[in-house]
Amino acid sequence: METSVKVRTQMYIDGQWTEACSDAKSTILNPATGEVVAEVAYGGAQEAQQAVEAAYQAFPAWANSTADERAAILRQIYHLIIDKADRLAEIMTLEQGKPFEEAKGEVLWGAEFMLWYAEEARRVYGEIIPPSGHRQRLLVQRQPIGVVGAITPWNFPSSMITRKLAPALAAGCTVVVKPAPETPLSAIALFEIFEQAGLPRGVANLVLGDAQEIGSVLVSSEKVRKISFTGSTQVGKYLMEQSAKTVKKVSLELGGHAPYIVFNDADLDLAVDGLMINKFQNNGQTCICANRIFVHSEVADAFTVKLVEKVKGLKVGNGLDPANQVGPLIHQQALEKVMEHVQDAVSKGAVIVAGGQPLTEGEYARGNFYQPTVLCGVTPDMKVYREETFGPVAPIIVFNTDEEVVQMANDTPYGLAAYLYTRDLARTMRVSNELEYGMVGINASTLGYVQAPFGGIKQSGMGREGGRHGLEDYLEYKFLNLNF
Ligand code: ADP
């Protein structure tokens, strides 16, 4: 499990690799071993201001480049990411913990956004509208919105950056990225590629360090015209509120509390296999993973037996060992939250049918490991029913009628992803129509596709990433009334 990956540890501002003005550093720990992976530059307001200024200066030339010129660079970034996918994946496993193959899958998926938006950049069409007068033309053209502040989380350290940057750069925007403090190395490795691909200086900048200081510069600067954020609902609300002062556009991809509904006519094997990917990928640390598994009473026992058998077979451990399917949680706090949620559920009557304990012995001793867990008898008074656990816990709730399950599924302030398993077409259409969610998986447990709009409603956020819809978020309309 030895690794020899060498990574830079600086920020990237105005085309220069830069230390923090204060020389401050932050320590990046491997969540599987507790070992120090790197010491990276730790900046704040000053570096954020420099990055905003660089992006602001770079904007006019980038905005006025042709779509083909921008597409050529995005394509080059795509190819370089593919070439270096192993390196990027290893860096990700070291700092984030997810198994190497899963990390590589994320890197490759993240690269696809570059290719998709390289193509989509060429299709930013305007309109000609029938005029009200003679010798008049009403034209609508699309323009890039300006400098974008992109704030990203640690659960998908590579693809959350490319999913924002690809459409932003394709549209002609310039960007300041602030990645999560837990996973700066994946961001740095991407920026090495951006530099190599020939992205002009200042077009994409990377700032590391104090989230509040950097965030406050990004939201308050009049030079920043848009904030794109993926992270917690709490921070998202704060950023939206602060952005109001300069009337910035905001795109928010926030928390979820996905219902996973298994009806009595479902293909149970398909539903179990889907849940295994959906729930245990990234160790349950995704905003679209199933948090409440609603199973019809007639199939609840059969479903649970199948699920428990598979969950007990999962191999947990260091993600650099190819035998392991589930890695550690990101940090001690995350582990404590999972423990608290399970203890709370058990104290209120839930029954642990798989897992239910942290792993602390031998190879697990210095990492943040928790057994993949299934809980039965979950009720609405439990934390697992109300809050995002963000861990490898599958809480099962039994239901009887369609009306009842739709009501329970919608009984949350969140509205990101929902899933339903049924063979009944009428039920599929009725229930997916009634679910108050931005995305619904129907006999399907994956939702992230470069060509489709990913995002939530209610307190799960606003705006969409992916597809042609993802480009819209980075474009303004300009109306021209032309008389001749
Ligand atoms: P999580 O709890 O999953 O870490 P957060 O919402 O705290 O989710 O973090 C997501 C991203 O938001 C990270 O890059 C984090 O550093 C950043 N962040 C946290 N607080 C602020 C803030 N006040 N201003 C700007 N960014 C912030």
Structure confidence by residue, pLDDT tens digits, 100-149:
999 999 999 999 999 999 999 999 999 999 999 999 999 999 999 999 99
- Kindly report, residue by residue over 342-385, the tens digit of the pLDDT: 999 999 999 999 999 999 999 999 999 999 999 999 999 999 99
Q: Is the pLDDT of residue 47 over 50?
A: yes
User: Phi and psi for 110 in degrees, rounded to 5?
Assistant: -60, -40
Q: Is 241 in the pocket of ligand 1 (CB under 6 A)?
A: no
CATH number at residue 145: 3.40.605.10
Residue 454 belongs to some domain of the structure: no
* Domain match, 117 and 149 both: yes
Query: Confidence band (pLDDT; 50, 70, 90) for 6?
Result: confident
The span from the CA of 335 to the CA of 360, in Å, is 11
Prediction pTM value:
0.98
* Domain match, 75 and 200 both: yes
Residue 2 belongs to some domain of the structure: no
Q: Is 331 in the pocket of ligand 1 (CB under 6 A)?
A: no
The span from the CA of 199 to the CA of 306, in Å, is 50
Q: Is the pLDDT of residue 303 over 60?
A: yes
Q: Is the pLDDT of residue 336 over 70?
A: yes
The span from the CA of 135 to the CA of 137, in Å, is 7
More confident position, 98 or 4: 98
Average pLDDT on 181-198 reads: 98
Atom of ligand 1 nearest to the CA of 216: 24
Beta-strand pair 417-421/258-262: parallel
Q: Give 246 Cα–ligand 1 centroid separation in angstroms.
A: 20
Q: Is-contact 152 177, C-beta < 8 A?
A: yes
Report helix, strand or coil for 373: strand
pLDDT at res. 2: 47
* Domain match, 186 and 281 both: no
The span from the CA of 447 to the CA of 24, in Å, is 39
Q: Is the pLDDT of residue 339 over 90?
A: yes
pLDDT at res. 7: 87
* Domain match, 263 and 250 both: no
* Domain match, 265 and 201 both: no
Q: Is the pLDDT of residue 192 over 90?
A: yes
Reported in sequence order, the residue ranges of 108-257 that DSSP labels E, i.e. its strands, are: 127-129, 136-144, 147-151, 174-178, 204-206, 224-230, 249-253
Q: Is 161 in the pocket of ligand 1 (CB under 6 A)?
A: no
Q: Give 377 Cα–ligand 1 centroid separation in angstroms.
A: 34
Query: Confidence band (pLDDT; 50, 70, 90) for 1?
Result: very low
Atom of ligand 1 nearest to the CA of 155: 3
pLDDT at res. 262: 98
Atom of ligand 1 nearest to the CA of 151: 14
Residue 138 belongs to some domain of the structure: yes
Which residue has the least CA distance to atom 17 on ligand 1? 211
Positions annotated as catalytic residues are: 253, 287
Q: Is the pLDDT of residue 5 over 90?
A: no
Residue 343 belongs to some domain of the structure: yes
Written as one string, the DSSP assignment of 84-114 is THHHHHHHHHHHH---HHHHHHHHHHHHHHH
The preferred substitution site among 47, 151, 176, 388 for testing ligand 1, maximizing ligand atoms within 8 Å of CB, is 151
Q: Is 212 in the pocket of ligand 1 (CB under 6 A)?
A: yes
Length of the chain, please? 484
User: Of 111, 117, 165, 172, which Cα lies nearest the Cα of 142?
Assistant: 172
Q: Give 151 Cα–ligand 1 centroid separation in angstroms.
A: 7
* Domain match, 382 and 244 both: no
Q: Is 211 in the pocket of ligand 1 (CB under 6 A)?
A: yes
* Domain match, 267 and 388 both: yes
- Kindly report, residue by residue over 48-88, the tens digit of the pLDDT: 999 999 999 999 999 999 999 999 999 999 999 999 999 99
User: Of 38, 42, 36, which Cα lies nearest the Cα of 7?
Assistant: 38
User: Of 289, 261, 209, which Cα lies nearest the Cα of 43?
Assistant: 209
Query: Confidence band (pLDDT; 50, 70, 90) for 298?
Result: very high
pLDDT at res. 77: 98
* Domain match, 342 and 428 both: yes
287, with CB counted inside 10 A (0-12, 13-18, 19+), is: buried
Q: Is 220 in the pocket of ligand 1 (CB under 6 A)?
A: no
* Domain match, 235 and 272 both: no
Q: Is the pLDDT of residue 190 over 90?
A: yes
Which residue has the least CA distance to atom 22 on ligand 1? 212
User: Of 53, 57, 59, 114, which Cα lies nearest the Cα of 82?
Assistant: 114
Residue 155 belongs to some domain of the structure: yes
The span from the CA of 127 to the CA of 387, in Å, is 45
- How many structural domains are present in the chain? 2
pLDDT at res. 4: 60
Q: Give 338 Cα–ligand 1 centroid separation in angstroms.
A: 19
* Domain match, 302 and 154 both: no
* Domain match, 352 and 405 both: yes
Query: Confidence band (pLDDT; 50, 70, 90) for 3?
Result: low
Residue 29 belongs to some domain of the structure: yes
Residue 456 belongs to some domain of the structure: no
User: Of 484, 265, 254, which Cα lies nearest the Cα of 390?
Assistant: 254
Residue 478 parent element (H or E): strand 475-483
Residue 163 belongs to some domain of the structure: yes
Domain hosting 300: range is 258-449
Residue 249 token pair: 């556009």
The span from the CA of 34 to the CA of 21, in Å, is 28
Q: Is 215 in the pocket of ligand 1 (CB under 6 A)?
A: yes
Residue 257 token pair: 């509390």
User: What mean pLDDT is reported for the chain?
Assistant: 97
* Domain match, 321 and 416 both: yes
CATH number at residue 378: 3.40.309.10
